[in-house]
Amino acid sequence: MSNYGLEVLDTTECYTLLRTQRVGRVGLATDPPAVLPVVYVMVDESVVFRTAPGAKLVEAALHRVVVFEVDDYDAEDGSGWSVNVVGPAAEIVHPEELARVRASDLPAWAGEARDRFVCITAEEISGRRLVASV
């Protein structure tokens, strides 16, 4: 348990939960900072999403550390969880890696113009679960 009464999730549970969702948010330390929604897929233990030229791709080109967050909440019983992945972003450019990601049928968040793929490799992963109140 955390100091706030939340269940601390182990790494295995965090990866399991990451695989249950399709939409998350990428946090960038740009000026000003930004948190942007993305449709994603897990490839092995990396978060992969599609993007177009812009802030996310620039951060990936520079291999900057970003944060990725995904969560789920059940309004009926008040239960939920949140997982954060922190690590460097990188554009996927190797042909074999691109073919593998394209085979995952990862949709674009907003149109097919998002034809670049970014991978976030976890250096840190953490999660918390809020247990339903009784």
User: Does a structural domain hold residue 120?
Assistant: yes
The answer to whether residue 121 sits within a structural domain is yes
pTM of structure: 0.87
The answer to whether residue 2 is domain-embedded is: no
CATH number of the domain at 81, please. Answer: 2.30.110.10
Alpha helices, DSSP H, located in 47-93: 55-61
Answer yes or no: are the C-beta atoms of 27 and 68 closer than 8 Å.
yes
**Count of domains in the chain?**
1
Domain extent, residue 89, equals: 7-130
Q: When comparing pLDDT for 3 and 58, which is higher?
A: 58
Residue 50 lies in a domain: yes
At 86-99, the pLDDT tens digits run 999 999 999 999 99
Residues forming beta bridges with residue 50, ordered by sequence position: 117
How does pLDDT run across 113-127, given as a tens digit for each residue?
A: 778 899 999 999 999
Spatial separation of the C-alpha atoms in residues 23 and 83, rounded to whole Å: 12
Q: Residue 25 CA to chain centroid, in angstroms?
A: 6
